[in-house]
Structure 1
Amino acid sequence: MFFAVLFTFLFAWTSSVLGITVTTATASYTINTESSYGMTVVISRSTCDVTSMKFMGTEYQYSGTYSQIASGLGSATVSYTTSGNYVIIKCVANNDAFDLTHYMVFEDASNAIYMGTYTASEPTVGELRYIYRLTGLTDAYPYGDVSDITGGTAIEGSDVYLVDGETRSKFYSSERFIDDAVYCATNSGASVHACFIRPNNQATEKSSGGPFFRDINLNEVGSYQSLTYYMNSNHAQTEAYRQGFHGPYVFQFTRTGVPKASDFDVSFFDNLGLTGYVGASGRGYVKGTASGVSSSFPIVVHWYNANYQSWVYASSSGSFTSPALVAGTYTMKLYQDEFLAATSTVTVQSGATVTANIAATNTILTSSHTTIFKMGDYDGQPTGFLNAANQLRMHPSDSRMSSWSPGTIASTAASSFPMAIFKSVNNGQVISFSLSSAISSTATLRMATTLAFAGGRPQAIVNGYTCSAPAAPTAIDSRGVTRGAYRGLGEVYDCSIPSGNLKSGTNTVTINIISGSSGDEFLSPNVIFDAIELFY
């Protein structure tokens, strides 16, 4: 009896911070937030893994693989401190794979874990993400079973599957960062949600890829559901990674439906003394008016430098105020939806608001000309083209897709022209148009694209005239259309059509994808189209 009491005294003890109870054992910390629904979390003191997570008395942590950064830090120095109403778990990993500090902050009587991850360098695994692996939560919000691969057969790599005649992939759960405020794993009756929340723009200011970047949110694999918060990855990556403090981002259990990002106030992080965190005193604002873009599209303003990035939707009249930006000089970009309209610079000062208007300068949007036909809009997306409505959530081979080779398409029927042309699938797509009289002046065929794969680029034949072969685009080291991606570097290809080539009556444009490489069907060189326009 004496030794049992002595063991408990030496190796497990309990302390309280207001309502929060922390029990310390040799191998773990157990945090009970004493919320009305009951949330208890157990964290390994040697690895920082979450090894148990109970809500309303039910265990939701998968026992086979724990919740952690990537596939685990391997080893970490784990400690806890208190600050006001909060308990702060601090995990420091400095090994061959990681040089980072991860924080989990627990609030009195809350069902949430506020998180932040400071990186001194990029993990050697090549991406930065936090994964909760949850049992009993087999449904997903907002896109349902598009990422449920349970019982499926792999059809591309190890991440695209065929399940009951439908293609599924973890990539199909993605959403643009500018719109991706809340996503959840939930149970079949939707009585419990486990959600990741981006409470404000600080959550993504250290991400890479801009406001329209996408990454994996959810993946049901049968034994558990992955709820993933990506800070960076090489998934159609278009810029260098940023290091520093990623967050705050929030995990929450709820039994009252999907939470709202606006319900979370993370200003208390200013007072926690976390490594790399920049509070309100080190930030300022930019306000102004965006002009020269169509109010028929969302208007987006984007600020970035090597260390930070942020963005905001402008109003329909173009007025905007930035999120709180860390002081410094930023490149400032204006988009017509996702189509780049202008670029400038602005310097932000702590505690101040600077006025900086921005107007479209991209000649594609500002120049006047006579359009013969235009398919699609200059919005940086394949919206309106054939299969674009499905591409984000299914593989091109999915039976629910329309044929990628629809035959000759009238220039007035953009919705029948495929959003992508693949060298080994549907090369040589034809657009037909009629003219009441020949065009005597030089014309321009413009092919605006959003993403290229394997060096693919379009070369057109207009009636009997063959456009010059364009140079290969800058390579992006990732698959694209097959895993729901469509955004890359947005190359635009112009071909000058000599006078006399556009005739009275029926005319045709044939588009071929050229590349020195070859590939298998949908992994052959390809491009995704934003808009195709012929004008003079």
Structure 2
Amino acid sequence: MRCSLYAVALAACGQRALAAFGLTSTSSRFKVDTDAGLVFEVNRANGDITSLKYNGVEYQGTGKASAINSGLGSSTVTGETVNGYVKITVKAGSLPLTHYFVAKPKEAIIYMATYITGEIDPGELRWLARLRTSELPTGVHGNVGDTRGCTAFEGKDTFKCPNGETRCKMYTSDRFIDDNVHGVSGPKASVWMIMPGVAYETSAGGPFMRDINSQTGDSDQELYWYMNSGHVRTEPWRFGLQGPYAMAFTQPGAKPSENLDTSFFSGLNIQGYVPSTGRGSVSGTATGVPNQFETVLHWHNTQAQYWTKASNGTYKSPLMKPGSYTMNLYKGEFLVSTDSVTVTAGQTVQKDIASKEVETPVIWRIGNFDGQPFELRNGDKIERMHPSDVRMGPWGGAYTVGQSTAKDFPMALWSKQGGTVTVNFSLSQAQVKAHVLRIGTTLSFKGGRPSVKIGSWTGSDPGAPKLIDSRGITRGAYRGYGEVYTYNVPASAFKAGRNTLTLGVYGSGDASWLSANYIVDALELQE
């Protein structure tokens, strides 16, 4: 049997499919044979996937079906063959939603797209494949979302294991800008979510948004793609077509390419689909970001969002829907410039953008103003474990300028956990004058913001930042609005010789780890 490129990458080419490509049906099911080893079935009453057989092995979970959210309920489900592709359309009966399943000959892939015209209760929109843990025991990022043998201790989604390690499905997440393919694996196969091209264009949250990718339970291995949720989301939902995206089956560990061609959707009458001919792009130079940081560009309006990374000072955007966009430039994840641009179908707009960040001489700086806490203590762990995890270093403590390193400064402070942080530094007599103290944060919870004291001087309360009504750091999130606090410290606060900055938290809360807190990006005392 001669194999196509995708059959080689996404199926066991040497194994014969059980039947020819096509769609068959009964009174209760649509059955699709991809002729690439994958056969799946869709419930005609509600659009749930009830069977996922790959090379003769059943991977669909034994409890709940695979579906949008936890199932759409009573729906109108139709199946047809269009231009040589199988297309199944699910029109939800009580929700503003239409979901599509599409199969292409000789590919072990279920292509999907989801069209919405309003928010879906309970405030999230996700594709959730419930697969068999017995066949696919390894989740995204290994065991960080494996709750087997562990006990919930914070809500119903964060778990403590007998060895003191912690697990949470949120710990499986990655930044949208980096998350084009993620999957779960077993000894006979891997199953992947693929978000190619502009799959995220109608999601919310921007390039640094992160959401659940998998959760490993006793019976089900859950594989997700979150399109919209309230998990530390910083902007409203967008409506329209989510995707196209796909779920692919491969041999164990054979990760598929993110460059999945979905252009054939243009001939399938998919509601909301905009082909490449109806799009435009933006290109130009992006300058002023130091070489050691990623240069990220981000375009967004209320209908769509896009992003890319510049290389050697130049960039080209993905193909975008026509319209006017805010254009952001980031040093890593730290916003350094904002502009606007209008995109026209069939055209590439030239737009240069430069960082507006002004480098100010400093007496000392801890960390980097890059919108990320990773260089600080516990910053290398926070995406994959709870702050109480036994593998975490201590919180609070002291930092001495000229002796300590960034790893000695904790990446977060709590109003009821870990104590304050002190920064000890020395000034010459000539430096005893007014200075500016600048503190960058990445995420706040329950109104947490810095309290600062130097000598006899205490900084005023800057007021609570804009509320994000979602747990953050305890579920592995570090990115919010990214507030920067600036304090004009008078000369009377300083003295020649040793000085101490005491850094704490304004805010409160009803539990140790869920009290007011904030995540530190960097801080500096300017000359």
- State TM-score, norm by structure 2: 0.94
Determine the C-alpha separation between the residues in 2 that align with 1:264 and 1:83: 20
Cα contact 1:459–1:514 (8 A) shared by 2: yes
Does the Cα contact within 8 Å between 1:421 and 1:526 map onto a contact in 2? yes
**Correspondent of 2:219 among 209, 219, 223:** 223
Equivalences for residues 119-518 of structure 1 within 5 A: 119-135=116-132, 136-140=134-138, 142-165=140-163, 166-187=165-186, 189=187, 191-200=188-197, 202-255=198-251, 257-315=253-311, 317-361=312-356, 365-366=357-358, 368-410=359-401, 412-515=404-507, 517-518=508-509
CA shift at 1:270, angstroms? 1.7
Alignment pair present for 1:87 and 2:83: no
Amino acid at match of 1:110: E
User: 2: CA distance between counterparts of 1:349 and 1:32?
Assistant: 40
- State the Cα distance separating 1:462 from its structure 2 match: 1.3
Deviations 1:334-362 (A, max 9, x none): 0001000111100000000010111112x
Report whether the alignment pairs 1:72 with 2:95: no
- Deviation track 1:107-152 (CA, whole Å, cap 9, x = no partner) reads 1111000000000111122100010000034433651000000121
SS in 2 for 1:123: coil
Q: Which residue of 1 aligns with 2:8?
A: none
Q: What is the percentage of aligned positions where both structures have the same residue?
A: 42
In structure 2, what residue type is equivalent to 1:322? S
- Tell me if the contact between 2:140 and 2:184 (Cα under 8 Å) persists in the aligned partners: no
Residue type at the aligned position of 2:463:
A
* SS in structure 2 at match of 1:147: coil
Partner SS for 2:99: strand
Say if 1:116 and 1:247, in contact at 8 Å, map to a contact too: yes
Contact 1:161 1:168 in 2 (8 A): yes
Give the CA deviation at 1:221.
Answer: 1.1
Q: Is the 8 A contact 1:427 1:511 kept in 2?
A: no
Paired AA for residue 404 in structure 1: W
Check whether the contact 2:68–2:128 (CA below 8 A) recurs between aligned residues. yes
Per the TM alignment, residue 247 of structure 1 is displaced from its structure 2 partner at its CA by 0.2
Report if the CA contact (8 A) 2:181-2:195 is conserved. yes
CA distance in 1, matches of 2:519, 2:166: 20
- 1:442-470 CA deviation, whole Å, 9 max, x = no partner? 20111100000001110100122111111
Give the aligned residue type for 1:121: G
Cα deviation 1:55-93 (Å, max 9, x = unaligned) = 011111112100001111011100012222310010001
Unaligned runs of 5+ in 1: 1-17
SS, match of residue 280 in structure 2: strand
1:127–1:293 Cα change, 3 Å: same
Contact 1:141–1:183 under 8 Å retained in 2: no
In structure 1, the partner of 2:4 is none
CA distance in 2, matches of 1:452, 1:56: 48
Contact 1:198–1:261 (8 Å) recurs in 2: no
Contact 1:51 1:63 in 2 (8 A): no
**Amino acid corresponding to residue 422 of structure 1 in structure 2:** W
Deviation digits for residues 24-55 of structure 1 (CA, Å, limit 9, x no counterpart)? 100111111122xx211010000100011100
- What is the distance in 2 between the residues matched to 1:378 and 1:258? 37
Partner of 1:3: none
Root mean square deviation, CA, Å: 1.4
Distance 1:141 1:313 in 2: 28
Contact 1:184 1:258 in 2 (8 A): no
Match of 2:25 in 1: 24
TM superposition score normalised by structure 1: 0.92
CA contact (8 A) 1:137 1:185 kept: no
Structure 2 residues not aligned, in runs of 5+: 1-18
Instruction: Supply the distance in 1 between the matched residues of 2:84 and 2:316 (Cα, whole angstroms).
Output: 32
Matching residue within 88, 105, 108 for 2:105 = 108
Matching residue's letter, 2:32: I
